[in-house]
């Protein structure tokens, strides 16, 4: 797969089929992910693969608890908007997809945990995102999730981290074949995300649609 296609179409895929991920596919994803950079090339990140049904079920219960808590606190306004029909179509889509994941987390064939040292998340996330991109190249969907950090003690006990372990859970990616379609991720316009020379200074150009696939290429040329 073209690297630009992977960059543009790797997005949160929360509806996953339960079919197992073949070992060779999982190995290619992990082997690509550990090529990611880390500070001082010290490899201060680890992956932990969870496939055991009982362990996945236990994580689903924890995840669902956190999800419900967030819907009553941080995401209360959004949850209310979805309930009362005033949410935007995009908010409804994300909300439904997040709820689906909270109910079906254990159906994902693999829960991939990324671990790092406290305060060193910046050496974990390059590998996390590489795992998402490598999964995309294999047709495997993923979502970066961090909600379980609100249940760190319980989660790390389920993962078998020993007392005093120098690593802690940083993120969890459910992996599996997506049941939906891949599409270009919707994002704010580029000019809202980039400044020139000084904070707040507009870049002096505008980009109104994603630059992949090339919006100027003729259909016949693709
Ligand atoms: C640091 C981080 C934490 C996230 N945590 C969660 C999470 O706990 N649960 C979840 O469903 N999605 C989580 N997401 C996924 C985002 O909601 C998702 O990337 C964003 O909505 C864009 O979705 P899209 O790629 O489908 O457009 C997280 C993403 C990031 C980068």
- Return the pLDDT at 214: 83
Q: Which residue is closest in CA terms to ligand 1's atom 23?
A: 12
| Kind of pairing between the strands at 168-176 and 45-50 | unpaired
| C-beta 143 within 6 A of ligand 1 | yes
Ligand 1 centre to CA of 215 (Å) is 27
| C-beta 94 within 6 A of ligand 1 | yes
| C-beta 108 within 6 A of ligand 1 | no
Give the domain ranges of the chain: 3-186, 187-222
| C-beta 115 within 6 A of ligand 1 | no
Q: Which residue is closest in CA terms to ligand 1's atom 20?
A: 12
- Return the pLDDT at 218: 52
- Computed over every residue of the chain, the mean pLDDT equals 95
**pLDDT of 219 strictly over 70:** no
The 10s digit of each residue's pLDDT in 120-152 is 999 999 999 999 999 999 999 999 999 999 999
Total-model pTM: 0.95
**Which residue did the predictor score with more confidence, 201 or 220?**
201
Token pair 């200074």 in the structure block, residue? 201
Q: How far apart are CA 76 and CA 74, in angstroms?
A: 6
Please identify, by atom number, the ligand 1 atom nearest to the C-alpha of residue 148: 8
Domain topology for 3-186: NADH Oxidase (3.40.109)
**pLDDT of 222 strictly over 50:** no
* Burial tier of 99 (Cβ tally within 10 Å: 0-12, 13-18, 19+): middle
Please identify, by atom number, the ligand 1 atom nearest to the C-alpha of residue 125: 1
Q: How far apart are CA 13 and CA 145, in angstroms?
A: 11
């Amino acid at each position: 797969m073209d690297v630009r296609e992977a960059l543009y179409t790797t997005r949160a895929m929360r509806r996953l089929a339960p079919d197992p991920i073949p070992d060779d596919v999982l190995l290619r994803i992990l082997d690509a992910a550990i090529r990611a950079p880390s500070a001082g090339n010290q490899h201060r990140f680890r992956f932990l693969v969870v496939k055991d049904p009982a362990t996945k079920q236990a994580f689903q219960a924890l995840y669902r608890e956190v999800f419900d808590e967030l819907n009553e606190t941080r995401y209360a306004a959004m949850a209310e908007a979805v309930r009362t029909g005033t949410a935007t179509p995009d908010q409804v889509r994300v909300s439904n997809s997040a709820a689906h994941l909270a109910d079906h987390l254990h159906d994902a064939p693999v829960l991939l945990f990324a671990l790092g040292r406290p305060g060193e998340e910046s050496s974990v996330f390059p590998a996390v995102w590489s795992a998402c991109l490598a999964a995309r190249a294999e047709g495997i969907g993923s979502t970066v999730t961090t909600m379980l950090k609100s249940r760190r003690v319980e989660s790390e006990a389920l993962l078998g981290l020993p007392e005093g372990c120098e690593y802690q859970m940083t993120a969890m990616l459910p992996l599996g074949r997506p049941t939906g379609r891949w599409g270009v991720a919707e994002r704010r316009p580029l000019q809202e995300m980039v400044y020139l020379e000084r904070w707040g200074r507009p870049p002096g150009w505008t980009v109104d649609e994603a630059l992949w696939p090339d919006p100027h290429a003729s259909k016949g040329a693709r």
